[in-house]
Amino acid sequence: MTGRRRGFTLIELLVVMAIIATLLTIAVPRYFRSIQRYREAILKQDLATLRESIDKFYARAADKSIVVNSDDPEDNGVKDVKSGAEGMGENGVPFVAW
């Protein structure tokens, strides 16, 4: 029996590392493209939901909704939306306070 030790040679390790590197050069770009597609799909869905909400808001009668603008002079966006309907809710609170 010889005194040879069992183990991997440097050549074998380099070949395995080269194979792993080759596989990574194929897999990593596909992974980042799939992340980009996922982000684009989420953005598209968010925009569709926002547009649907805007359409629903404007589909109601103009006298039934009161737009409350932001108090900040630098922010000219919408702060809140209140009901312009007359009457009281079942809980005794006027619709205007909703």
The mean pLDDT values, 10 residues at a time, for the chain of 98 residues are 74 95 93 93 94 80 68 76 80 83
**Which domain covers residue 97, as residue numbers?**
61-98
Query: Has residue 33 been placed in a domain?
Result: yes
Residues 15 and 47 in one domain: yes
Tokens of 15: 């070949």
pLDDT value of residue 78: 74
pLDDT value of residue 81: 75
pLDDT value of residue 62: 55
Return the percent helix, strand and coil in the chain, to nearest 5. 55, 15, 30
Residues 46 and 82 in one domain: no
What lies within 8 Å, CB to CB, of 86 at 6+ separation is 95
pLDDT value of residue 79: 74
pLDDT value of residue 1: 52
Domain tally, the chain: 2
